Structure 1
Amino acid sequence: MKVIDASKLQQMVIGAYKYLEENKSLVDELNVFPVPDGDTGTNMNMTMKSGVDKVNQTSGLSVEEIAKALSQGTLMGARGNSGVILSQLVRGMSKTLKGKDEIGALEIRDIFKNATKTAYKAVMQPTEGTILTVARKMSEKAEEAFDENKNLDDYLVEIITEGQIALDNTPKQLPVLKEAGVVDSGGQGLMFLLRGALNALNGDIDRDIDLSSSESVEEGSYKIYFELLIKENDFEKISDSIDSLSTNFDYEYKDGHLKAEARSEYPQQIISKILVDGILVKLEVENTKPDIENAVKEPEKLKKYGFIAVSRGEGFDEILKSMNIDKIISGGQTMNPSTEDIYKNIEEVAAENIIIFPNNKNIIMASKQACQLTDKNAMVLETRSIPETFTAMLEFDEDEDLEENIENMADAISDMHTVEVSISIRDTSVNNIEIKKDDYIGILDGKIVATTSNIEETTREAIKIAVDKDDDISLVTLYYGEEADKRKAKDLVKKLSKDYKDIDIELVFGGQPVYYYQATLE
């Protein structure tokens, strides 16, 4: 096969999704921590599903439209860090296929090159031995093995084989993978996607999928016409950016003068981009589907600050509400919200400044991606647990500006320690600690430090390690989860009070899943 047309590309997209869906549990099991959270495979699968849903609504079925729809869907549907990186890989693919009617060897080479470049740019501190390394190695192979007349099946097999070699080598690059005896989960998810796409290219795809029955996607409710004066070398960057935000984008460009019409559900994103990137000559916005009933309502007055927090747990939710958090997004360790979930909540908060608390390291990237999509003044405080939000909010000062508040709140949570206690779902070794399936594990500031067959003893051991490390601890707050026994939690607090007579010990209902106990030490 020398070229891939739109019909075959759509089959490859669906084949990629289906193959990952079938194997997502295998990817989940590769998580280094043996905690029953199931992140990576689930997140990548749900991200890809959002892309496929968008593709299946695409009218016209050109190569460019399929790639663009896939990019838009994965961007808004991105969940977890692995999902955000996947969305950026797809974005690089979409850039490559702009204006293309078919895909040949040249486009394949450039897809891998641009996908890798775009994904690396999206990560603040890229780590080798991850999905990024797997993508980069395939990009290098695509360049090395390029031949314009090459059979695409053979070309892709060479590239994907190199990706598998890179994946198998990830434990050599990351000691934590080697110790756990696993390869990188994100890289494995990417390989499943590419294998599924290759299978579909070779005709191995379920015949019950009706590729022609997709409903046409509705045009965005807003029509934005604008004329912009821009620098010659900025044209491609600006047009690509606006194109990625639009359901339809038509333009004329000559001698630094861009005339364009875009359709979108979120015109503020496009308008914000226009005002920043060029000199505005003309701007017209038309709502083609006006909501007359809501249009007559008085606009909300903007307060100075608004807050959004991701939370999971009845007790945690109640505490957040008492601290005047405007929006609580249901999610956490086992259910990461998408970029779109976070973006929609940002849009609903009537405030001049918005602070987002992701409360999980795997939700930080999606939160930042959502901030990039809005024209509101929103920033992410990189909280990794819900109790960190409680501490941060106590440091908040209404009279300070947004950047100053973020800095002060970040300083406050940097001085605290977090202990989390869960159950191991498999035998493994982490940080030179041998862990048995169904034993309890104590995690201190993101690192496994203790394991026993008794949940209370594991909790006490993890807290002891934290106290021994920091002489300044004066308060321990123990949050018990939905599966913890309240009576045993009270007994644990009594034991801790005897262990540490100079430290105040408090017990609070969190109601969180996954972790029987979470404790903050301040």
Structure 2
Amino acid sequence: MPLGGEQVPQNLDAVAVRAWCGLALDALGRAREEIDAINVYPVADGDTGTNLYLTVESASQAVDAAFTGLDPTHPTLAEAARAMAHGALIGARGNSGTILSQLLRGMAQVLGADRDTDHADGQALALALRRAAESAYQAVAHPVEGTVLTVAAAAADAASGADGDCGAVARAAYDGACRALDATPEQLAVLGRAGVVDAGGRGLVAVLGALVGALSGGTASPYVKTAGSGGHARVEPAEPIECQDASVDAMAPAFEVIYLLEADDTAVARLRRRLDGLGDSLVVVGGDGLWNVHVHVDDAGAAVEAGVEAGRPHRIRITHFGVGDAHTAGAAQPPRERTQRAIVAVVPGEGLAGLYADAGATTVPTRPGEPPASGELVEAIRHAHAREVVLLPNDAELRHTAAAAAEQARTEGVRVALIPTRSAVQGIAALAVHEPDRRFDEDVVAMTSAAGATRYAELAVAERQSWTMAGICQAGDVLGLIDGDVAVIGDDTTRTARSVLDRMLAAGGEMVTLVLGDDVPDSLGEQLEKHVREVHLAVDTVVYRGGRQSALLLIGVE
């Protein structure tokens, strides 16, 4: 639906879905800082507004893509609704974004049921809102009232009692959501103590207000929390939130783990049970073979390993909360104090992501051929929520991207030191000497020195015939690259790795780090460890599983 002066529809069609996404993104953009500031539950990490904005941004981009190249034929309502839900699923951030994606998926299940119609009436919209609330409750392992779930259910109840077209139903849902949001401090003690409403519910009110605007052409009255229990005032809608499971505990888990997972329903059911035993704030959303998994745990590696056993996890994000009692907040100040120092690292593969996270780093995992943009690095620095940040790009190609992210973060008041690590093994060496209690400059110097003293290598498979520093390679050859240059060309992975190790250790070394990719067996690590022990005396070897990464093998020599 055009955002300009044309008559807006009172029934929901594909154009209205597109307008809804755009208006919701605008509303969340305006309310992002407000929602971040009242984010005290389940973890006061001050990112609910940001996570909701990024989730809706992904949904909006997916709907825009559905319209691309189709003029003058628009996508159907079913296609637009599915695109919106899928975009939210793959772009969901944090607990808040994960739950919002399930709300949109529930709506899409109803709006896409009749593929022969190009619009939905008021009754269908009310059914969609009901299905959205039900599916969100089902996705949360331990639902808690006084959260976005309560607000979604109230919106569905109000919509079910409304008469009229989609515009009337949407406005009733918005009014019901506002009343429910007002009551959240009475339902959840942590909100009452902080004097705030639920951040996720506040976000959902913003999204529903945008739906009112998309259907009626007007604007929902801005939501404003009332001072008492009676009535509610309105103010501009903001965005959806994160909802959690159990009661807030001062000894909260240390890590937030999020990943997309390709798996069947049976495997996901087992995964839910395992993750529920590992931590809290468990939300698993999706279906049809693609899921978004969110959990708070102390053992990030175990959470990722559970995903590997269930299917194929990717887009793994592990964040170290970095606070002791993360749930203490006042009404008039940011809910979470910044930690003094944090490490943000780009890592290839879920195995290394778990390793770095266990060492206390906020990670930005990558997939082969998908390097992170500077905006993702800036977001990771913000999420680390520290006064001082050490940034480890772990890739020579990311030097300029990381520098741009560091400069942006500095303008926001964060002291950022960029250590130009060119490989994940150099980052491991830097982490090994990191001491957060010493002066920042001293810590950075020590980490930079450790990274610089670590030679790095990798094994890869040649994709085509080409000239290299070691001669001409053919497609399928195993290449051994030392410090970025091809030094060995071979036809066998083990022999090539041995040759690379011998060359690197000829100049001396005390420690060898091996990171195995998905495409090589554990026996490779065992053979190389034995080779180092027998040929290069007094050199220790440590072996890690890196998971899905572009290299067959990463090698570090310190």
TM-score interval w.r.t. the shorter chain?
0.3 to 0.5
* TM-score where L is the length of structure 1: 0.45
Structure with larger RCO (C-alpha < 8 A, sep 6+): 1
* TM-score where L is the length of structure 2: 0.43
